[in-house]
Amino acid sequence: MRNLLYIDGAFVEPALGGFLEVVDPATEEPFAEIAAGTDADVDAAVQAARRAFDQGPWPRMPAASRAAILRRVATEIRDNLVHLAQLEVRDNGKPLKEARWDIGDAAFCFDYYADMAEQVEAEGETVVDVGDDRFVGRVRKEPLGVVGAITPWNFPLLMAVWKVAPALAAGCSIVLKPSEFCSLSCVELARYFHKAGLPPGVFNLVTGLGQQAGAPLSAHPGVDKLAFTGSQATGSQVMQTAARDIRSVSLELGGKSPFIVFADCDLDKAVEWIQFGVFWNQGQICSATSRLLVERPVHDALLARLKAAAERIVIGPGDLDGVQMGPIVSAVQHRRVMEGIAQGVASGARLVTGGGRPSYLTRGYFVEPTIFTDVPLDSWIWREEVFGPVLCIQSFDTEQEAIALANDSRFGLAGAVMSDDLERCDRVARALRAGVVWVNCSQPTFTQLPWGGYKASGIGRELGRNGYEAFLEVKQITSFDHRQDWNWYQSTGNPV
């Protein structure tokens, strides 16, 4: 099946006629094609988005009208939840149960931002007392403009919707470039927008390779804001490109997040949350709590339970009943994960379990849940993101040591702490230099709460009200009471 681009309200062939194979990571077999967009397609999409924003009705519609369309899209997603989940399983490899969660969250995200658009419009402008009754100061928020969004492959539809839903709710137009590894659910999203009656040019989809489609989108002068989720290296390039024209940018990048486990917690519960924090979605999570810090008295006991639990995880194609871990998304990523594991072994870390392909799976990009302990603190595998099912463990003796080890990272996306002492949990949560902290859990994510990181993990926040306001500009309007004596102004000179 060939999937086209969506530009200016129509599905169109790519300008150069190229297509890319879509490969099922569980079988290594191609099963579909996506359009290979290039700079000409990006230019057409940005121009369409520019017209839609500058001349079209979308930014000028009442919030209720925009919200109605977003809610229709949410309904389409729910009505097609099974189809979309199955599509993501085949495109991405994740287990069907996880894919269903993701699709449900995507639908909720549209409803949430539809509600927010109406709420913010109802709040209206803010009148500010400027300390001089001859002037009235007002602050209003307006849609930012044309958004260029570049999204990753680990949560193909959901990560796209985290950008698309608030941007459209705020009144922006958008050009979406999803990962070439997983674009199919975003093509379906374009179909739902088309059916919902979104005005032409408000949402545009350009699939293709990063250098051929993503880079031209980042560099296009018609884009007012760049919103990117992906690796730190690519995020740095996006930021440099945005800096040339002084454009707004938000970056959600990688992490190497810590999980601190104190000796007073229930170890069986800890094992469940540790596994969820690093093996869910095959470890392909930017916030994966992949650095485990364990209080020394329980290190050996916890490690034994973790090893046994990891070896019970059912690995296989995501569409099979009972599968808990699917394949890595692509041959390229599979190779990177295996190289990371090899670096861990070479560093002198002790391989406790995993490290290879399950013996009963002869094809597909599968990796066993992998656990290292006694990991050198200066090793690559301790400090860098593997983006696979790889857990690194170190022990600690004091709360202060645990916090210092956790914060000793150039990343700061997330962190977790587990203890029955809730006061200690609160102290540690406050001390962690991370944008997201979980207490006695790992990875639950809610649309209502802001998402983003400190340090090299990114700039800005998605989700919650912060995620909506990221697509607004703030304008002050200051009015002079024309009934005042104009001679007063002339006598004061320029008050600025």
Same domain for 375 and 414? yes
Return the H-helix or E-strand segment holding 294: strand 291-295
CATH number of the domain at 70, please: 3.40.605.10
User: Could you tell me which residues are beta bridge partners of residue 175?
Assistant: 148, 204
CATH number of the domain at 406, please: 3.40.309.10
Q: How far apart are CA 357 and CA 372, in angstroms?
A: 16
Same domain for 198 and 250? yes
Same domain for 90 and 149? yes
Q: Which of 391, 396, 416 is nearest to 309 (CA)?
A: 391
Q: How far apart are CA 329 and CA 336, in angstroms?
A: 11
The pLDDT assigned to 481 comes to 80
User: Would you call 252 a catalytic residue per the annotation?
Assistant: yes
CA distances from 301 to 233, 273, 403 (A): 38, 16, 22
Same domain for 106 and 167? yes
Q: Which residue is it, tokens 């924003």?
A: 53
Active-site residue, from 76, 98, 180, 252? 252
Q: How far apart are CA 235 and CA 244, in angstroms?
A: 15
Residue 247 lies in a domain: yes
Residue 489 lies in a domain: no
Handedness of CA 51, 52, 56, 60 (dihedral sign): negative
Same domain for 215 and 311? no
Return the H-helix or E-strand segment holding 477: strand 472-480
Position 87: which residue type? L
Residue 494 lies in a domain: no
Same domain for 365 and 226? no
The pLDDT assigned to 486 comes to 59
Handedness of CA 231, 237, 241, 247 (dihedral sign): positive
Q: How far apart are CA 311 and CA 314, in angstroms?
A: 8
Same domain for 102 and 226? yes
Q: How far apart are CA 369 and CA 309, in angstroms?
A: 10
CA distances from 146 to 170, 203, 217, 234, 471 (A): 11, 10, 11, 21, 9
What DSSP string runs through 168-204?
Answer: HHHT-EEEEE--TTS-HHHHHHHHHHHHHTPPTTSEE
- Percent of the chain at pLDDT above 90? 96
- Rounded to 5 degrees, φ, ψ at 174 are -150, 145
Q: Copy the structure tokens of residue 358.
A: 């399950």
Task: For the chain, list residues with pLDDT below 70.
Answer: 484-496
57 in Cβ contact with 199 (< 8 Å)? yes
148 in Cβ contact with 227 (< 8 Å)? yes
455 in Cβ contact with 411 (< 8 Å)? yes
The pLDDT assigned to 487 comes to 63
Residue 490 lies in a domain: no
202 in Cβ contact with 49 (< 8 Å)? yes
Residue 448 lies in a domain: no
Residue 492 lies in a domain: no
Residue 444 lies in a domain: no
Domain of residue 241: give its range.
2-254+457-479
The pLDDT assigned to 1 comes to 79
Same domain for 472 and 434? no
How many domains in the chain?
Answer: 2
- Rounded to 5 degrees, φ, ψ at 113 are -80, -25
Same domain for 404 and 293? yes
Same domain for 462 and 325? no
Same domain for 31 and 144? yes
- The SS3 call for residue 319 is coil
Residue 173 lies in a domain: yes
Strands laid side by side in the 472-480 sheet: 126-128, 135-143, 472-480
Same domain for 245 and 328? no
Q: Which of 368, 384, 381 is nearest to 325 (CA)?
A: 368
